[in-house]
A = this chain, B = another copy of it.
Amino acid sequence: MGGQIPETKRRLIAAALELIWRSSYGSVSVDDICKAADVRKGSFYHFFPSKADLAVAAMDHADKELRATYDRIFSPASPPLQRLEELAAFIYDSQKQAAEKYGHACGCPCASLGSEMGAQEPEIRAKFDEQRRHKTRYYQNVIRDLVAEGLLPAASDVKAKADEMFTYLMGRVMLARIENDLEPLRRDLKDGIFRTLGLSVETIPAA
């Protein structure tokens, strides 16, 4: 094991993700990242042509790490409503963990990076877009199952609903970071997803 990615590179990616997630791309220097990863600067530029490239690699890493969790949450074995509830719970939990670790709400690192640097670094925008497509595939899948169960009308525009759900989640999480407040996340996220999809809340039995 160990894989084909060298330890040093791995540490750089992990450190970059942590530091950027906690503060921001602009406030974290290459030296900061090297120090946190205990790597000398020459090694940094051996693996990454630039700071922006490391940021892209960090986004990629964050996404891949989430993949197993998403597969579990969106397991076709669970009833679709439960999948949504689990998604909401997972988002809140991971935000809470980050907030405890770093001292404040951190939002979504990829969205923050996208907002801060997407205009100046097209690869960052492209990576964000890739992840959006990736995540909305999970959402489309669960929405189709909701339609199959009769919880959503057969005429539903699955893709549009999935996009709306993504937008809603990103907005909520982003705002949680800006306002440093996870409470709305805990309180409203599940209902917000339901409302966004057009599931009437009364339909839903208390979980």
Measured CB to CB, the residues of A under 8 A from B are 22-27, 104, 106-107, 111-112, 114-120, 125, 128-129, 132, 160, 163-164, 167-168, 170-172, 174-175, 177-180, 184, 188, 192, 195-196, 198
Contact = CB atoms under 8 A, between A and B. Distances in A.
A160 B187 CA distance: 11
Query: How many copies of this chain sit in the oligomeric assembly?
Result: 2
Contacts of A111: 174, 178
A71 to B, nearest CB: 25
Chain A's interface: helix, strand, loop or mixed, by majority? helix
B171 A172 contact: yes
Given A118-B180, A180-B125, A167 B171 contact: yes
A167 B171 CA distance: 6
Contacts of A196: 195-196
